[in-house]
Amino acid sequence: MKELEVYKDFSLKGYNTFGIDARADRFIALRSTDEYVDLLSSGVLDDGRFFILGGGSNVVFSDKYQGTVVHPANKGVSLIGQEGSRCFVEAGAGEVWADFVDSCISQGWYGLENLAAIPGCVGASPVQNVGAYGKEAKDVIWRVDCFDIANGAEHWIDAADCGFDYRWSNFKGEWKNRFIIDRVVFRLDSAFTPNLSYKALSEALAARNISQPTARQLADTVAAVRDSKLPNPQDIGSAGSFFKNPIVGKTQFDELKAKYPDIVAFPLPTGDFKLAAGWMIERCGWKGRSMGRVGVYEKQALVLVNRNGCSGQEVRRLANAIIANVETHFGIRLDCEAIFVDG
Ligand SMILES: Cc1cc2nc3c(=O)[nH]c(=O)nc-3n(C[C@H](O)[C@H](O)[C@H](O)COP(=O)(O)OP(=O)(O)OC[C@H]3O[C@@H](n4cnc5c(N)ncnc54)[C@H](O)[C@@H]3O)c2cc1C
């Protein structure tokens, strides 16, 4: 067995898009499936003090992580099967998601265009069922290949068993810290059918005079719309949308609508309504405000941003202040989409 490289007192600053200068006691990158097996048989994770870190675009670290950060970095994209126009494409957990989407379009494997330019890695895409512009990862994930951390057993979990929901899956819930994802298999299509269900996207295409986009045009438009609304992690630290859009039943929605006629909400097929958390936060006066070295993004109140070397505690303080304020004002408790990782 090849010795795994273990880095001690490792800086995570370049490994989280918020840019928090946290450190981990130990850091191990896994570059192949064999290294997953080596790690799980080594006993290094037996103390239970570990965190699996992909691209770090959905996490907020405290200043010190007293344990082992495991970073799946195994690459590789391949077509593993085809049935008619269906293409089954396998990708390593360490593939950068945005590059993976691009390379699928180049290969003529379609279905991921609306999910273009989301930060992070392939291995995290099932964890919170990434979604954007009318599409979710669950629509294209076929299978998740992972290892049980407790006993090293390999599992191939069908999408139907992953408990996918809005920004949610069993990997974020009951299976948290149970599995480490090695590869994800996607069910894509060699025939391109654009998904233009999201209003802002169809409007952006219309503004470009495109009525029948190619897959590349669709992905480029998604990326441009995202750019206009979200901070680029290279320039401004953030974890993207910090809060989930809360879902309420029709009765509660009607009450809110009577009180706030301009409330922004989207009807769901279930009869419930998804409320725009950003609208509520903005309405409470938070847009553009700062608290210490962390603030609320000027262009989108759903996003918290690192103003100048903020700490994880500062992010938590601001998030808690916003949650309390929105609850007092609207009677709705916001849930964080971003994950706090405590020492
Ligand atoms: C500017 C910006 C825009 C964003 N836009 C969107 C968006 O449109 N839609 C959306 O859904 N999200 C969005 N996000 C959030 C984020 O990009 C996604 O949640 C992404 O999937 C996180 O990937 P990651 O590799 O960075 O995961 P991390 O942040 O490293 O980890 C996220 C979670 O996944 C777990 N995890 C990661 N890899 C593995 C693995 N191999 N095995 C097991 N568990 C694992 C971690 O333990 C953690 O619980 C945005 C973030 C930013 C910064």
Residue 13 located in a structural domain: yes
Per the annotation, the verdict on 167 as an active-site residue is yes
- What range does the domain containing 263 cover? 238-341
Residues 283 and 336 in one domain: yes
Q: How many domains does the chain have?
A: 3
**230 occurs within a structural domain:** no
Asked if 89 and 57 sit in the same domain, the reply is no
Q: What share of the chain is helix, strand, coil (3-state, %, to 5)?
A: 30, 30, 45
Active-site residue (options: 167, 183, 187, 283): 167
Q: How many angstroms is it from 124 CA to the middle of ligand 1?
A: 5
Render pLDDT for 77-136 as a digit per residue (tens, 0 to 9): 999 999 999 999 999 999 999 999 999 999 999 999 999 999 999 999 999 999 999 999
Examine the residue annotation and report whether 5 is marked as an active-site residue of this protein. Answer: no
Residue 287 in this model has a pLDDT that exceeds 60 = yes
Q: Is the CB of 126 under 6 A from ligand 1?
A: no
Listed residues 155, 172, 189: the one ending a domain = 189
Specify whether 21 is located in the same domain as 68.
Answer: yes
Query: 189, 220, 254: which is the final residue of a domain?
Result: 189
Determine contact, residues 170/137, Cβ cutoff 8 Å. no
In a domain, 242, yes or no: yes
Return the residue whose CA atom lies nearest to atom 22 of ligand 1.
120
In a domain, 12, yes or no: yes
For residue 279, give the CATH number of its domain: 3.90.78.10
- The CATH number of residue 137's host domain is 3.30.465.10
Instruction: Kindly state whether residue 101 falls inside one of the protein's structural domains.
Output: yes
Q: Which residues contact 150 (CB under 8 A, 6 or more apart)?
A: 178
- Tell whether 223 is covered by a domain: no
94 within ligand 1 shell (Cβ under 6 A): no
User: How far, in Å, CA of 148 to CA of 40, rounded?
Assistant: 9
Average pLDDT over residues 148-167: 97
Centroid of ligand 1 to alpha carbon of 256 (angstroms): 32
* 238 C-beta closer than 6 A to ligand 1: yes
* H or E stretch covering 148: strand 141-148
CA-to-CA dists, residue 258 to 162, 254, 255, 266, 272, angstroms: 38, 6, 5, 16, 16
31: CATH:
3.30.43.10
Pocket flag, ligand 1, residue 93 (CB < 6 Å) = yes
The pLDDT score that the predictor gives to residue 329 is 97
59 lines ligand 1 (CB under 6 A): yes
Q: Is residue 112 part of a domain?
A: yes
Nearest atom, ligand 1, residue 181 CA? 42
57 in catalytic set: no
Q: 67 and 81: one domain?
A: no
pLDDT at 276 over 90: yes
Provide the pLDDT for residue 3: 79
- Verify whether ligand 1 is closer than 6 Å to residue 132 (CB atom): yes
pLDDT tens sequence across 183-207: 999 999 999 999 999 999 999 999 9
Are 59 and 96 within one domain? no
Same domain, 67 and 84: no
pLDDT digits (tens, 9 = 90+) for 195-240: 999 999 999 999 999 999 999 999 999 999 999 999 999 999 999 9
Kindly state whether residue 330 falls inside one of the protein's structural domains.
Answer: yes
Evaluate if residue 331 carries a pLDDT over 60: yes
Question: Residues 54, 118: one domain?
Answer: no
116/133 same-domain check: yes
Nearest CA owner, ligand 1 atom 12: 130
